[in-house]
Amino acid sequence: MDVLKMAGAAYRALTARKQAPTLYDLCDPVFLGHKHGDPHISKFYKTSLANPALRPLLRKAGLPELHDPVRFRAVRDALISARDDAEPDWAAIGAPIAELIDTIRLEHPRPPSWVAPAQTPRLADIDSAIRACGDHLLQSWSRNGFLPAYASFNLIGDADLDGRAFLAALTGLNSRSYKNSTLLFNLARVFIGRSPAEGVINPRWRGIAEPMWSPVQIRHRSAYYDAFYIEALLGFIDSGLGTPDDTRAARRMIADMTEFCLKTSRERVRTAEGEPFDVITALAPPPHSRFSRFFAKVKQNLGFGVYVPDCDTTACSISAATQANSSDPIIDQPLIDLYRAYQVRTGGNAPMVTVPLNDTIDYDGGIVTWIDSLAGERPFGNDLDPTLNLDVLEVCFRNCARWRIVETPARLDTVRRIVDFQRRLVASGAFADSKSHVYYLPELYCAYFGRCYVAFRALDEAAKRAIDPDGVFEAIRLRVLAYVQDELIAKEMNVFDAALALIALGHLGGDIQHFAPALHCILSHLGEGGGRAPFKAYEWNKMKTPTRILVGGPEVTSAFVLMGLALARKALLQPVQQA
């Protein structure tokens, strides 16, 4: 991020002349000083958009088309309806805002091509970076008592969320408070994207994964994060680069995080047929989520009071516990039966996807994201993400024998249909299009496919033939590997991009020479984090609604870099070991 450019953008935003109606001209009369109607939307407006930090940047940012009194009134009437109607018509409310959203032009990063040094870095330098990442995770745990991740709001929104997708979200979400926040965040996007404030709120960056800057990071804990921290620490132990004390500390951390995933974050649900399952919730109840008191209140005011379990957190937690050799009985549950209840069947239960942000892909065979709580809550509606489906496959492969998947026709059919969903996605090339994904980057899809592929390869030959008789996994491997080698590492990367590239290359059997660009990127930026962290925080995953919310953190970067470097190290040592 260019600090001078951000400062210049801030100066222009603060000193600009007001030339048209602003966000506050629209919203202040509707939401400030009113006691009637839905109290949440007014509280949300005061907390998120009318706060003292944002108001100076946007107080002069106007839209010329709102000089038209008919258009101005249409937007204001929509906001009044959202505030006052007992049963709002969200499609009608969203229509004038959707028209405005389509006037902003946002683009995903387009990194330039670059030529990295061809020579592979020294093994000693790779080892030093692995130790630095391992030390960072151990020290963070010692300070905090857990390994945090952070949420960061980017008010410019996601480049893929155009007016049509906005309306799909507004009508498909279930919670009124979540609809409120989606409505107002997306209205604000227009004023930000068409003013100098855009350069402050959405500065350009190097690579693909978005950096996260400190002032807007909300620290918290989730089983989803702990699951990947477990995998990283297992990689650290396997590398043999830690001291005996480091190894003992890592094992204690793994045990604690496994318990957090399987016990603290456990929740009972039932399928539509009444079958009970223990699953893992996206955010454990206080105080386990570790929000500060301030941010816990902000979270409530913004409409994020209810979280429900999800298929991804459940899959990753059970997978990590399996890898850590946990004996908890929850692992014995045939989760594939639960996933079958959430599998889309074209012409049958396809309307299960109520928030079709990525409806350019064929959902048939895919597993949706959110699991109904025991109380029947599903505030986020439901969506379907391809990378999540890789995690479902991966946990099924790790527990294939335990869950008797091959021996049970219905379970085998469920897995095969997820595999076919992935086949169509990759064969069409859609896996490389950001519009195909809800929570992840295409580059992360590649890394996660690598994890899934390794779990598949570990199956016995009979199981592999039963699940994939047509060689789909090998075909996907070649397409994904080609994308990583020809696109990802051929362009300018940041550290997180490079870590994802190494994970994909290491798991998918990439040629040794292709490791060099990502290794040089990581090693040349070692120390960029400053202070206690070897690397900066970057986007790991995101939500596109109610605005672009990134999740990551310095510890997340260290974990992914550690996993990537450990795989690269193993690949570099393999020729030596074979010789």
Q: Residue count of the chain, please give it.
A: 579
Burial tier of 275 (Cβ tally within 10 Å: 0-12, 13-18, 19+): exposed
CA angle 225/108/502 to nearest 5° reads 50
CB atoms within 10 A of CB 17: 6
CATH 1.50.10.20 range(s) for the chain read 123-154+202-578
Q: How far apart are CA 507 and CA 273, in angstroms?
A: 39
C-alpha dist (Å) from residue 430 to 437, 445, 450, 496? 9, 11, 17, 22
Q: What is the DSSP letter of 434?
A: G
* Lookup: tokens for 136: 């960072």
CB atoms within 10 A of CB 422: 22
Contact 117, 520 (CB under 8 A): yes
Highest mean pLDDT among 266-280, 370-384, 565-579: 266-280
Q: Residues near 487 by Cβ (< 8 Å), separated by ≥ 6?
A: 432
C-alpha dist (Å) from residue 550 to 116, 155, 216, 219, 280? 29, 11, 10, 12, 21
Which residues in 533-555 are b (16+ Cβ under 10 Å) and which e?
bbbbbbbbbbbbbbbbbbbbbbb
Q: Is the pLDDT of residue 94 over 90?
A: yes
Residue the block writes with tokens 């065979």: 365
Contact 301, 378 (CB under 8 A): no
Res 33: pLDDT: 85
User: What value does the mean pLDDT of the chain take?
Assistant: 92
Q: Is the pLDDT of residue 124 over 60?
A: yes
C-alpha dist (Å) from residue 275 to 69, 216, 269, 328, 374? 56, 42, 8, 20, 11
- Return the H-helix or E-strand segment holding 549: strand 548-552
Q: Is the pLDDT of residue 425 over 60?
A: yes
Contact 466, 412 (CB under 8 A): yes
Highest mean pLDDT among 170-174, 270-274, 460-464: 460-464
CB atoms within 10 A of CB 164: 14
Res 376: pLDDT: 77
**For residue 377, what pLDDT band results from cuts at 50, 70 and 90?**
confident
Mean pLDDT of the 536-555 span: 94
Res 313: pLDDT: 97
Res 198: pLDDT: 85
Q: Is the pLDDT of residue 284 over 70?
A: yes
Q: How far apart are CA 497 and CA 511, in angstroms?
A: 18
Res 16: pLDDT: 78
**For residue 579, what pLDDT band results from cuts at 50, 70 and 90?**
very low
Mean pLDDT of the 391-403 span: 98
Q: Is the pLDDT of residue 145 over 50?
A: yes
- What are 478-533's pLDDT values in tens digits? 999 999 999 999 999 999 999 999 999 999 999 999 999 999 999 999 999 988 89
Res 348: pLDDT: 66
CB atoms within 10 A of CB 3: 8
**For residue 287, what pLDDT band results from cuts at 50, 70 and 90?**
confident
Res 530: pLDDT: 84
Q: What is the DSSP letter of 204?
A: -
Contact 155, 185 (CB under 8 A): yes
- Return the H-helix or E-strand segment holding 154: strand 149-154
Q: How far apart are CA 204 and CA 362, in angstroms?
A: 33
Q: Please give the sequence-ordered ranges of beta strands (E in DSSP) within 281-363, or none if there are none.
A: none
Q: Is the pLDDT of residue 302 over 70?
A: no
Q: How far apart are CA 475 and CA 473, in angstroms?
A: 5
Q: What is the DSSP letter of 513?
A: G
- What are 343-373's pLDDT values in tens digits? 999 876 667 899 999 999 999 999 999 999 8
Q: How far apart are CA 504 and CA 38, in angstroms?
A: 48
Q: Is the pLDDT of residue 74 over 50?
A: yes
Compute, in degrees rounded to 10, the torsion defined by CA atoms 370, 92, 161, 1: -110
Contact 388, 446 (CB under 8 A): no
**Is 123-154+202-578 in CATH node 3.30.230.10?**
no
Cα end-to-end span (Å), the chain: 45
Q: How far apart are CA 114 and CA 111, in angstroms?
A: 9
Q: How far apart are CA 54 and CA 326, in angstroms?
A: 47
Res 428: pLDDT: 97
Contact 282, 378 (CB under 8 A): no
φ/ψ of residue 152, rounded to 5: -140, 130
Q: How far apart are CA 368 and CA 382, in angstroms?
A: 6
- What are 178-197's pLDDT values in tens digits? 999 999 999 999 999 999 88
Q: Is the pLDDT of residue 467 over 90?
A: yes
Burial tier of 445 (Cβ tally within 10 Å: 0-12, 13-18, 19+): buried
Res 374: pLDDT: 85
Q: How far apart are CA 6 and CA 514, in angstroms?
A: 35
Q: Is the pLDDT of residue 335 over 90?
A: yes
Mean pLDDT of the 143-153 span: 94
Q: Please give the sequence-ordered ranges of beta strands (E in DSSP) within 163-293, or none if there are none.
A: 217-220, 266-270, 276-280
Mean pLDDT of the 287-316 span: 74
Q: Is the peptide bond before 351 cis (omega within 30 degrees of 0)?
A: no
Contact 168, 562 (CB under 8 A): no
